[in-house]
Structure 1
């Protein structure tokens, strides 16, 4: 039975939940490719073939730790020792898949069954050089790789039998281990007959009639270890030094001028055919190696050491690299950090985060932010909102981005105006005003929730957002702008690697920010958890930015991963990032995703335990302030914001009352008695409101509405003739064109809204009056942006997707299978 059939049998014995998890980990129900074309999976055998294929394997390898990856590489290297290098197979047109070191051109391969290159399990563990607890840990990792369908079933399906790995590992493992490709493959790609004849002559081989015979003779000679060692022993010192360089563990590549393209010396060819450079390279050692086929050109001024040569010159007893555990922190580690200290700092950070987001979004509600034509929030708008909320610009951008991705704010586009004219020359309809960023319906529910529930969607969004929001490398050329499309696919792996590295530290141990040795350890640990990060040139800077964001959210405190951080890590490990732009924890149903639902519930419980219940009362003081210990509840915060100005944040929130802030509440329709009664309901301990506060409210109400703006364009009336005369003579109101037409009436050339604004700016307290004589209440516009809530099933953004979800596909595949039990 083939490996594909054995794997299909194993898949058929899985539970629906386990098969669903495997499908989602491997990008299904619809991310299979064959020569660049998406292929639907309709049965278990087709699923097994997809999982074994290069595209799916490359994606899965990118999510492994270094230890898991090295076990697979070791299995492929051991297979090379036992079975020889994998022969080149016939290839067809292909496409790129995977990331980092596993980004490969995937082809159609006429390859043998993977089971033909199986290695004994015990021999593999011996090859890794592990004993005792380390051996048990390696066996556990083998079981995890089996569950991920990266260790394939051995013949007969014995779970403890030989280790079988996909062909991609066999093709890539030699390169990752510092070995080149087989000599026969390299010669076929690089040379035509004349160059093969030259190498044949350089090795002093017997006469052969054809190019194929000469190439076969070269391969046969250099495949014999004794002949290779004899040849190398006779090499000049410069040539032996170059061989040592290429077999020292790094890439088996060398820059040289031995060869150039057959189409000319100045033609920078990246593939053959190549010819020997006339007059040589100027380096006798390199020329000696080239003349004997010990290095073969693979690109412009680049040669590769063939597998046969590197395998002989390497230490035959050398073990493969195997880092069983992440690196241990050095002197930059901070030890003995007590848990209560970590919890206090985490609580303070989380409370501040919820408060900062609330302040900023309240400003967005009061005055929606204008958007740029090029995309994103206008910089001046971000600065204005940040100033009003008491935040710096970078923090404002951060919260705006998270709130938008969490569905709390969205684009509010006005209805376009009707087009004028008829016929072919009619101009298209255009919006009356530019689109703005405004709250959504979800914002109202969010605002009424306690701090823990407010922070949940923001944290979940931060976890899965494919962007490092605070990292903006080219500030001068491209100034930071809020609400741009996230385009950093490595941000989530980097975030997961950072949290996993901190989670692996002993209890009470953290890192000291700003220390170079701590930063170096963090980068090394992150690479252990996600080896593809090794190729990130800006890794240190991006890790520092991510760590700063973690501290801002209470995920990290004192260099230690907090309980919130552990819950966020569990959310990422449950695969939450697969569903972006849908964000688990912001509303999408988690039915059919039990592991994800458990992670979201754990994050909810952790936040609820960390953040105290919101305060429901305030302490009103004689200095016209109201102090709320901790975070205020939504109703209390709404009342105080309506009639007072938020003055300070911290462990307690302080509001200050003034005549202007009280007028704001009176303008919205409340009278003095209603406002005082509402405030008294929230007074701490049921205490009576201080006398200065009562006097302020009543005095402000006494002058409120003494003048009235009549709808027309426009009149001002007041029973106070002295006040009317004062208004007519006030120089700051001259722009209104006021004219007294009666002892108690003025007319204005400005519209009612402009007149009201000018009077209030001059320190007066007018109200708007309807034609019937009743007061018109001026409540702020509560327009809401419409944002479509995404389902998790909508998150697979792959070519040719259909409506099938992973749970539905798993059920269908299991229902259609009847494997022997």
Structure 2
């Protein structure tokens, strides 16, 4: 029976509580809602949904599931149960396997079948060609290695049967495998041991041309021996594969040779809570200061984007010099800023601009926005500067190549695992987990997710340390709260631990300002404009100079305002040398002025332009007269044109030469994507969905939208098992026709088949297929050579 039909009937028989548990574990099954149980079963069997479900499985659940897949293929009774699987999984127990089978069944990855469990059909496609680390069978390898199999079988005296079947049948002979290994050359066992983790092998360059020149009197190498006896199958000149039958024989008849029922032992060390907190709080203070400096700089000079996407290194170097840091740290800080919404992409100017609300927030709120933005960020800041996979150049800051949709899952998993492993930490002595142990635990909990994202883990741990979620490798109290989803409690915990912010500095005659501790955000940001920071840490020194003061004057600061600011925030009077430097620099500043204009308005009607200058609705655009008949504005041309149209005018948008302005370049930079915030308890929505399902029949109606998916499922099963099908198809006039064909591939709504009667291949649309039946008899003539 089709897995969709069987699963549909099984889901309909489940209790409401069981369905609710399924929806909680796999929420994508009911988002959006499904009309009936047939549609629910079809969605549960869909590739993308199955892939998401597999990403949540730990190692023992995945091992048992892959063992079920292999067992389902080679066993005469494909429904697996705990008794049969226990004998095939080394180190397992019947009770443990039974519990895992029930868990997989509750997730709708297995369905009940003839006293056991069978896998949904899409699992074969999602898990791939090598479940349980075993290779493809000889029959599956016959197509890519047909000539080699024919030659090898003949050389071994296996000419009376089909080569793939003959090579596979040898493993059913008692003691044949042990006898073969007994006569094998030295180190053959070591070579086979290399295939324990996977069936594919790379042939050394020194061996690729040696076989042709090997003399008859020369003893074969282990590789030559295994190839000559059909134990390894060459895929090409460089790669070999250990067939499934040989892999199972090597594992002494077991499908899983090492069952990892328990997580690896974590190696921990004791650490001082004071040391952890000092490291974390110091890192937080420095990050908040650096973010403030960056936002101030970007507010004055937005970051331009490259035509290829992202922000180039050239635009980052001045920021790195201002922070006295390197470009890689600036890149991480800017990625965090974008994740928190502190810098946004202006589509009109193709540049990143700063949001200035940062200084209105208390420090714990600043930290929380950065930490939450990082947790939900569907990007990996650590990838910036690395080579583009499969392309040229490196990944730019805020470029689309840095997107990793699964990164939030890995961040949450790392923090939660670290919290679980350090649950026994005391108030004064905390537990830190060695990085290798932490990563091994994460790998055990989510092996499939780990395979895709393992190279991101070191960067994530470094970013967690940067944000103070960990200190000296140990999870902080507010980091633990954040890992549990308690954001407000985490901010409150940080607020209690942060030292009180200081609102005054000590001005000295050597043109320096001494900050004796953590400064208020606005004070720190303004000092960074007026002076250059020296040194790191909370107790910093700011040095005033003519160049730093010119920078402040260029940013719009007036000398009287600067003196007033320093007088307000200094614990002593302003030293005379500093006051003289400020006034002298201001007197020399502005003899020549350079002003920026984003757009201009030209008109011969000076009365109209004069009215625009006094128009209240346009005051925010910074209109000012540049010359007779010309007004300048700080707004972009598109923004200025919109404002004029809202006043009932009809401006022409054009360049200085009166020609239409060129089209805005397309932005290769993708917007910063984050996981949506968790919604409210979905209990009500689940209840509505269950009520809707109960009102519909349990089976698959003849006119159901699921019928095409049933046909695809049957075709893929026939492709996987190399069997012939009988298709009922209709032509353009609706006339049915029954055909006996061998399906080869299914993709994009089409199926490619081999017609043995015409000895040709055909491509057919899925929507023209009315029915699919797999024929019981083997169709050797229908197999394409």
Please tell me the TM-score bracket, short chain as reference. Answer: 0.5 to 0.7
Aligned partner of 1:117 in structure 2 is 79
Q: In structure 1, how many angstroms separate the alpha carbons of the residues matched to 2:549 and 2:232?
A: 85
Pairing 1:549–2:549 present: no
Q: In structure 2, how many angstroms separate the alpha carbons of the residues matched to 1:493 and 1:395?
A: 23
| Preserved CA contact (<8 Å) 1:237 1:285 | no
Q: In structure 1, how many angstroms separate the alpha carbons of the residues matched to 2:162 and 2:671?
A: 67
Which secondary structure does the structure 1 equivalent of 2:336 belong to?
Answer: helix
Q: In structure 2, how many angstroms separate the alpha carbons of the residues matched to 1:543 and 1:656?
A: 39
| Preserved CA contact (<8 Å) 1:354 1:454 | yes
Which secondary structure does the structure 2 equivalent of 1:547 belong to?
Answer: helix
Aligned partner of 2:748 in structure 1 is none
Out of 162, 179, 183, the position equivalent to 1:237 is 183
Q: In structure 1, how many angstroms separate the alpha carbons of the residues matched to 2:486 and 2:282?
A: 23
Pairing 1:459–2:405 present: no
| Preserved CA contact (<8 Å) 1:199 1:291 | no
**Residue correspondence of structure 1 range 416-431 to structure 2 within 5 A:** none
Which ranges of structure 2 fall in alignment gaps of 5 or more residues? Answer: 597-621, 625-632, 640-668, 699-785
Pairing 1:52–2:45 present: yes
| Preserved CA contact (<8 Å) 2:63 2:256 | no
| Preserved CA contact (<8 Å) 2:563 2:579 | no
Out of 326, 329, 354, the position equivalent to 1:395 is 329
Aligned partner of 1:410 in structure 2 is 344
Aligned partner of 2:63 in structure 1 is 70
Aligned partner of 2:604 in structure 1 is none
Pairing 1:85–2:1 present: no
Pick closer, same or farther for the CA change 1:8–1:342 going to 2, 3 Å.
farther
Pick closer, same or farther for the CA change 1:306–1:613 going to 2, 3 Å.
same
Deviations 1:165-224 (A, max 9, x none): 4456678599343433344444466438x966983794568x6xxxxx756973894463
Aligned partner of 2:397 in structure 1 is 482
Query: Which deviates the most, 524-533 or 281-290?
Result: 281-290
Aligned partner of 2:251 in structure 1 is 314
Q: In structure 2, how many angstroms separate the alpha carbons of the residues matched to 1:444 and 1:652?
A: 25
Q: In structure 1, how many angstroms separate the alpha carbons of the residues matched to 2:557 and 2:384?
A: 46
Out of 6, 14, 37, the position equivalent to 2:10 is 6
| Preserved CA contact (<8 Å) 2:383 2:402 | no
**Residue correspondence of structure 1 range 311-460 to structure 2 within 5 A:** 311-316=248-253, 320-328=257-265, 335-412=269-346, 435-439=350-354, 443-460=355-372
Which secondary structure does the structure 2 equivalent of 1:386 belong to?
Answer: helix
Q: In structure 1, how many angstroms separate the alpha carbons of the residues matched to 2:490 and 2:223?
A: 60
Which secondary structure does the structure 1 equivalent of 2:353 belong to?
Answer: strand
Deviation at 1:448, TM superposition (A): 0.9
Which secondary structure does the structure 2 equivalent of 1:58 belong to?
Answer: helix
| Preserved CA contact (<8 Å) 2:316 2:327 | yes
Q: In structure 2, how many angstroms separate the alpha carbons of the residues matched to 1:324 and 1:564?
A: 32
Q: In structure 2, how many angstroms separate the alpha carbons of the residues matched to 1:462 and 1:337?
A: 26
Query: Which deviates the most, 64-73 or 650-659?
Result: 650-659
Q: In structure 2, how many angstroms separate the alpha carbons of the residues matched to 1:599 and 1:140?
A: 32
Deviations 1:127-168 (A, max 9, x none): 563679xx78x8887776566544x45469xxxx96654456
Out of 675, 678, 690, the position equivalent to 1:814 is 690
| Preserved CA contact (<8 Å) 1:239 1:285 | yes
Pick closer, same or farther for the CA change 1:148–1:356 going to 2, 3 Å.
farther
Which secondary structure does the structure 1 equivalent of 2:271 belong to?
Answer: coil
Pick closer, same or farther for the CA change 1:662–1:523 going to 2, 3 Å.
closer
Deviation at 1:526, TM superposition (A): 4.9
Pick closer, same or farther for the CA change 1:605–1:216 going to 2, 3 Å.
same
| Preserved CA contact (<8 Å) 2:512 2:543 | yes
Q: In structure 2, how many angstroms separate the alpha carbons of the residues matched to 1:703 and 1:533?
A: 62
Aligned partner of 2:537 in structure 1 is 650
Pick closer, same or farther for the CA change 1:345–1:8 going to 2, 3 Å.
farther
| Preserved CA contact (<8 Å) 1:74 1:128 | no
Q: In structure 1, how many angstroms separate the alpha carbons of the residues matched to 2:58 and 2:48?
A: 19
Aligned partner of 1:618 in structure 2 is 504
Pick closer, same or farther for the CA change 1:167–1:246 going to 2, 3 Å.
farther
Pick closer, same or farther for the CA change 1:563–1:326 going to 2, 3 Å.
farther
Aligned partner of 2:172 in structure 1 is 224
| Preserved CA contact (<8 Å) 2:68 2:119 | yes
Q: In structure 2, how many angstroms separate the alpha carbons of the residues matched to 1:245 and 1:599?
A: 52
Pick closer, same or farther for the CA change 1:555–1:9 going to 2, 3 Å.
farther
Pick closer, same or farther for the CA change 1:293–1:620 going to 2, 3 Å.
closer
Deviations 1:678-728 (A, max 9, x none): 777767xxxxx63446x789879999999999xxxxxxxxxxxxxxxxxxx
**Residue correspondence of structure 1 range 165-180 to structure 2 within 5 A:** 165-167=119-121, 175-180=130-135
Pairing 1:558–2:472 present: yes
Pick closer, same or farther for the CA change 1:806–1:625 going to 2, 3 Å.
same
Pick closer, same or farther for the CA change 1:173–1:282 going to 2, 3 Å.
farther
Q: In structure 2, how many angstroms separate the alpha carbons of the residues matched to 1:220 and 1:705?
A: 90
Out of 472, 478, 493, the position equivalent to 2:385 is 472
Deviation at 1:360, TM superposition (A): 1.3
Which ranges of structure 1 fall in alignment gaps of 5 or more residues? Answer: 31-39, 88-114, 208-212, 258-264, 267-276, 415-433, 512-517, 571-597, 684-688, 710-735, 737-749, 755-776, 797-804
Pick closer, same or farther for the CA change 1:534–1:145 going to 2, 3 Å.
same
Pick closer, same or farther for the CA change 1:163–1:630 going to 2, 3 Å.
farther
Q: In structure 1, how many angstroms separate the alpha carbons of the residues matched to 2:366 and 2:78?
A: 56
Deviations 1:408-449 (A, max 9, x none): 1133465xxxxxxxxxxxxxxxxxxx644321xxx2222211
Deviation at 1:337, TM superposition (A): 0.4
Pick closer, same or farther for the CA change 1:407–1:292 going to 2, 3 Å.
same
Pairing 1:199–2:153 present: yes
| Preserved CA contact (<8 Å) 2:276 2:474 | yes
TM-score where L is the length of structure 1: 0.58
| Preserved CA contact (<8 Å) 1:497 1:527 | no
Pick closer, same or farther for the CA change 1:47–1:707 going to 2, 3 Å.
same
Which secondary structure does the structure 1 equivalent of 2:296 belong to?
Answer: helix
Deviation at 1:362, TM superposition (A): 1.1
Which secondary structure does the structure 2 equivalent of 1:362 belong to?
Answer: helix
Pick closer, same or farther for the CA change 1:168–1:300 going to 2, 3 Å.
farther
Q: In structure 2, how many angstroms separate the alpha carbons of the residues matched to 1:51 and 1:253?
A: 31
Q: In structure 2, how many angstroms separate the alpha carbons of the residues matched to 1:564 and 1:637?
A: 24
Aligned partner of 2:628 in structure 1 is none
Deviation at 1:120, TM superposition (A): 3.0
- Superposition CA RMSD, Å: 5.8
Q: In structure 2, how many angstroms separate the alpha carbons of the residues matched to 1:244 and 1:700?
A: 78
Pairing 1:690–2:690 present: no
Pick closer, same or farther for the CA change 1:296–1:808 going to 2, 3 Å.
farther
Aligned partner of 2:600 in structure 1 is none
